[in-house]
Structure 1
Amino acid sequence: MSIAKVLRVTRFQKSGSRQWMQRAQATICAALLLVLTGCSSAVTKLETWEGSPAAAVNSSTLEAPGVIHVSEVNGRSMKNYLMDDMALDYALLPGENQVVFTYKTIWAKSGVVDNGESKVHIIESAPQVVSFEAAPNETYHFEFDKPDSRRQAEEMMPGFSAAVVGVNGQALAQSSAWSPSDSVVAARTPVSDGASGLADDGEAATGNGESALNRLKAIWNTASDEEKKTFLRWAFE
């Protein structure tokens, strides 16, 4: 076999190998895209209740953009995800709902950044709370002023507020500063008018249809470490 023929065979084999690698890479990328798309659709709408209440079939939707981070709904803590800028939809039961959230934006730093120093500025509001009446099968979203620069964002934070708006463009409620004690009244899951005097676990229910134990659990999750210590000292005295 001549040297020229050997070189042609070698080039053909290398070309075939490159094509195979390109096809394999394309297949892997497509598979990863499908997986990521499936994961994204699986977590973009979160239920805000426990169990299987009958009213869930008529739940409404609260759309939260990536800059709005909902921490709890009706006293129930919401999940945190690795991607802070993920837009999420929250399924709400019809009736009064209380939503606690923060507004957070990220701005790139200009100039040289020292080794180990963050490359971004994070501008975050104080926790906000908004309460509104959700109608069955309706969709709501947040509206707020959007800063054009980091400096403007910093200036907005002390008085930041967001409105919950319906599909007709009308604001239902405006948020205000939140503290853990604000969740005591709303630490509940809305229930239908036909709720009985007993909770699902057989314990005595409060006037709004939930057990005292579940209410205490919800309040406990919002308490600070010092408040928990004070309560435990009181409980065991």
Structure 2
Amino acid sequence: MTTCHVSSVFKWLAVVVSFTLAGCASSVTRIDTWQGDPVEADNPAVLKAPGEIQMITVNGRKMTNFLISDLALDYGLLPGQNDVVFTYKTIWARTGVVRDGESKVHTIESERQRVSFDAQPGAVYRFQFDRPSSRQQAEAMMKTFSAAIVSDTGEVAGRSELWDGKAMADAPRTPVSSSKVDDETGVADTPLDRLKSVWSEASEEEKRTFLRWAFE
């Protein structure tokens, strides 16, 4: 087996494990952002996030930090008000000579953005934003970056603003199943929920160590 093939297999396994821990209920391309089994989950909305969008929280719940960060992913949303915090990131190849130890790319990333919008049952939403044609243009855009959430009918449901960390107190909270809930944390006490909680708090190195152990 070639080194390239081993690397591809490892990346595929990493994605599978990440999706499993994130509680993907319906398919490996959609991450459901709620906990438990609320009745509203029968007909969720979907928010499509391209690889440039790094989702941080939805309704106060931390999204999984995937080992492969430039994945285009779908997020299942419960109908009603949803609060999303994210960043926008692009990568540009360096020109000229790259010294040993230097990165071969420029990473341009926005400050954290927040958008709140009313999701309709079964609707599909997408991020809409200007795409730069050069690194210089991307850097200039970051000063005033904003993205719109647009429905599948073309209607603008919301537009992001710079996140100040204060608005989360009034943000809608992720529903939790009433089956069995920890009184202190408010999180459903199941093995999967505990795994997801541990995974979201783990460092990148801890995640890599776990994946190596899982597939030995």
State the TM-score, normalized to the length of structure 1.
0.65
Structure 1 residues without counterparts, runs of 5 or longer: 1-23, 204-210, 216-237
Task: Please give the per-residue CA displacement for 1:36-95, whole angstroms capped at 9, x wherever unaligned.
Answer: 6x9389542111011111111111100000000010000000001111110010000000
Cα distance in 2 for partners of 1:187, 1:201 equals: 21
Normalized per residue, the structure richer in helix is 1
Task: Please give the per-residue CA displacement for 1:119-151, whole angstroms capped at 9, x wherever unaligned.
Answer: 100000000000000010110000000000000
* Equivalent pairs, count: 174
Q: Give aligned-pair identity as a percent.
A: 48
Matched, 1:182 2:167: yes
Cα distance in 1 for partners of 2:108, 2:64 equals: 21
- Corresponding letter in the other structure for 1:58: N
In structure 1, the residue matched to 2:98 is: 113
Provide closer, same or farther for how the CA distance between residues 69 and 141 of structure 1 changes in structure 2, counting only shifts above 3 A. same
Give the RMSD, CA atoms, in angstroms.
3.0
Provide closer, same or farther for how the CA distance between residues 76 and 89 of structure 1 changes in structure 2, counting only shifts above 3 A. same
Q: Report if the CA contact (8 A) 1:95-1:190 is conserved.
A: no
In structure 2, the residue matched to 1:151 is: 136
In structure 1, the residue matched to 2:196 is: none
Structure 2 residues without counterparts, runs of 5 or longer: 188-216
Provide closer, same or farther for how the CA distance between residues 177 and 212 of structure 1 changes in structure 2, counting only shifts above 3 A. farther
State the TM-score, normalized to the length of structure 2.
0.71
In structure 1, the residue matched to 2:207 is: none
Bigger relative contact order, structure 1 or 2 (CA pairs below 8 A, ≥6 apart): 2
How far 1:172 sits from its partner (Å)?
A: 0.9
- Corresponding letter in the other structure for 2:46: T
How far 1:200 sits from its partner (Å)?
A: 5.5
In structure 2, the residue matched to 1:225 is: none
